Amino acid sequence: MAVAAVREPQVAAAARLRRHWGWARLRACRAVADRVLLLAADHCHALTSLLVYDGGSSEALHRFIQQRAAGLHTLDLRLPLDLHNDHLLAIGAEPVHDGVDPTHNLAALRLQSCVLITGDGLRSLARTATGAGIKELALVSCDVVEREPGLLTFLSQSMRRLRRLDLSYNETLSDKVIGAMLSSCRNLIDIRLRGCRGLTGASLVSLLRHCGQTLEILDISRCPSIAVGNVEFFVQRATRLNHMIIEESAISEELKAIAQKKGMKIGSLLPYEGPF
């Protein structure tokens, strides 16, 4: 179910189908988001995917997470003022199933512009069985990544199943932080660094050293400090790379030739890869 700027009667109509919802997307619909979240918490036993952008109160989201997070595969949140550490703790809490061993289904967690969460909240989540099972993590424009240099290393050490990572638009992220993180995160197949303007070719060297034999997709668009020579060197030696996202203006003739020889895609368009 997708909801964007809808009216109350439309929510009532959608509610009649709530038991069949497998996914819900709430975009810019703060007026009705709370009601949808509460309906989903109480009735949507089949729900496996939730996206909430700029809507819903902290309380309604917390109730939804407490009651339905255990069944979710994907959770995608852009809530600058409504997401707190308490929500992260609720995501990681052990579900109760009448004596049956709990299951941990969450595979993809995407957080964008969530300025009120802290490193302690993310570390607490990473320590749980739910956090350890996450395969896809996005911390897009989340300043906690820049405030706490050791956070990414801790997360990579704790989330051993991590395969896809999106750190886009953390503008002051440094090569040193990326290198330290990658030393504990050697199985990435997809990393997005779009808009990380502080990164240089040193980050590509770290990527090549630690993930050069696994990485398939790399986004380094809007990273002006990464020289074209560094990009050419990386593309030449990354054995499984099949898609690089980079501005057309940064694609040299040499890079085109390397990509053509290896059967790679290069350009400014992102492939569709799940929640990323």
pLDDT confidence of residue 254: 97
Per-residue pLDDT reduced to its tens digit, 96-145: 554 444 566 899 999 999 999 999 999 999 999 999 999 999 999 999 99
Percent residues over pLDDT 70 in the chain:
86
* Residue 276 binned pLDDT confidence (cut-offs 50, 70, 90): very low
Q: Which residues contact 133 (CB under 8 A, 6 or more apart)?
A: 104, 106, 107, 161
Kindly tell me if the per-residue pLDDT of 19 is higher than 80.
no
Instruction: Give 108-155 as a DSSP string.
Output: EEEEES-TT--HHHHHHHHTSHHHHT--EEEEET-THHHH-TTHHHHH
Average pLDDT over residues 8-20: 47
Max mean pLDDT among 5-14, 35-44, 192-201 falls in 192-201
Fold adopted by 2-267:
3.80.10
Q: Please measure the distance between the N-terminal and C-terminal CA atoms of the chain and give it in whole angstroms.
A: 19
Q: From CA 95, how far away is CA 2, in angstroms rounded?
A: 27
Residue 104: burial class (beta carbons within 10 Å; 0-12, 13-18, 19+): middle
Average pLDDT over residues 218-243: 97
Average pLDDT over residues 178-192: 95
Two tokens, residue 204:
């590509």
Q: What is the DSSP letter of 101?
A: P
* Residue 43 binned pLDDT confidence (cut-offs 50, 70, 90): confident
Average pLDDT over residues 79-88: 91
Average pLDDT over residues 74-90: 92
pLDDT confidence of residue 102: 56
Per-residue pLDDT reduced to its tens digit, 253-272: 999 999 999 999 999 876 55
Residue 249: burial class (beta carbons within 10 Å; 0-12, 13-18, 19+): exposed
Q: What is the residue extent of each domain of the chain? A: 2-267
Query: Does the predicted model carry a pTM greater than 0.85?
Result: yes
pLDDT confidence of residue 7: 47
pLDDT confidence of residue 44: 83
| Mean of pLDDT over the chain | 87
- Candidate from 7-21, 23-37, 60-74, 244-258 with smallest mean pLDDT: 7-21
pLDDT confidence of residue 61: 92
pLDDT confidence of residue 35: 87
- Candidate from 54-63, 185-194, 205-214 with smallest mean pLDDT: 54-63
Kindly tell me if the per-residue pLDDT of 11 is higher than 50.
no
Q: From CA 4, how far away is CA 30, in angstroms rounded?
A: 9
Kindly tell me if the per-residue pLDDT of 15 is higher than 60.
no
23 vs 81 pLDDT, higher one: 81
